[in-house]
Amino acid sequence: MVSIVVPVHNAAGFIADTIQMVCGQTYKDWELILVDDASTDGSADIIEKVIKGQKKRIRLIRLRQNGGAAGARNAGIDASSGRFIAFLDADDIWRKEKLEKQVEFMEKTGAEFSFHAYEFGDENANPTGKVVRVPATLKYRQALSRTVIFTSTVMFDTEKIDMGIIHMPKVPSEDTATWWRILKSGYVAYGLDENLAIYRRPKKSLSSNKLEAIYRIWFLYRNIADLSIPESLFYFGGWAVRATLRRL
């Protein structure tokens, strides 16, 4: 079974469609764990209405205080019971065959940790045609210069990976920090180069997005990877080139 963990914070405009999208997956052996992170827009009430009658398969966890995506995902991980754990953000889109193809891929390769290609979408999740391709495998040093692992494409096999290591720290870019920690410990991430998801990109200031991304990656280099300034600059150069090309 796949345990699907979805952090929910003020996602009233998306969450009903997200639940229906999961229900439409061609792979049927799953449980959906929705973790409401103290939403103020009625997201939890919408979830309750949508999942009425399906509570054995779809669960809602309500957090009293907003702790961010890391805390919400960790609560979902702790509540999971499936062999596989997959992450999905409330506003992202999965192709209907995503779970089926990724589980098959993990069983075929024996991967403990996998991710797949995805496509950028606009604020309405309409595909833009810009697909991010992924390598067949990704090791720690390779990952430092490319943030190619998108959270809504990740899946873990909990029979082969320590559950504790997939919990996320409460830091900027907690997802990337988690992938690096896992890879640094010796695991290898396997990439399925098939576009099975759409990353919704809301309208925001491109300049502020870039500045925030630079701050976050530098924080990760210095505080998570514990790299020296010269090492950080070296990997930052590779990251900047790849990040620019990915968005052209």
Tens digits of residue pLDDT in 57-113: 999 999 999 989 999 999 999 999 999 999 999 999 999 999 999 999 999 999 999
- What pLDDT is stored for residue 213 in this prediction? 83
**pLDDT tens across 103-114, in order?**
999 999 999 999
* 212 compared with 80, residue with greater pLDDT: 80
Confidence band, pLDDT 50/70/90 cuts, at residue 206: very low
Q: How far apart are CA 45 and CA 47, in angstroms?
A: 5
**pLDDT for 7:** 97
Predicted TM-score (pTM) of this structure: 0.93
Average pLDDT score over residue span 227-242: 86
Residue 245 has pLDDT above 70, yes or no: no
pLDDT at position 114: 98
**Percent of the chain at pLDDT exceeding 70:** 95
Pick from 57-61, 97-101, 193-197, 214-218: least confident = 214-218
Contact 88, 6 (CB under 8 A): yes
Give the model's confidence band at 123: pLDDT under 50 very low, under 70 low, under 90 confident, else very high.
confident
Q: CA angle 31-37-42, nearest 5°?
A: 95
Q: What is the pLDDT of residue 147?
A: 85
- Evaluate if residue 210 carries a pLDDT over 70: yes
Residues 161 and 111: their CA atoms lie apart, in Å, by 10
157: closest CA among 97, 94, 80? Answer: 80
CB atoms within 10 A of CB 46: 20
13-24 pLDDT, tens digit each: 999 999 999 999
HSE, side-chain direction, 13 A CA sphere, residue 89:
17
Share of the chain above pLDDT 90, in %: 74
Backbone angles phi, psi at 193, to 5 degrees: -85, 60
Is pLDDT of 9 > 90? yes
For the chain, the domains span 2-204
**How far is CA 162 from each of CA 18, 100, 180, 187, rounded to the nearest angstrom?**
28, 23, 15, 11
* Average pLDDT for the chain: 92
Q: Which residues on neighbouring strands pair with residue 191, listed in sequence order? A: 115
- Position 207 scores a pLDDT of 42
Pick the CATH number of 2-204 from 3.90.550.10, 3.40.710.10, 3.40.30.10, 3.40.50.720: 3.90.550.10
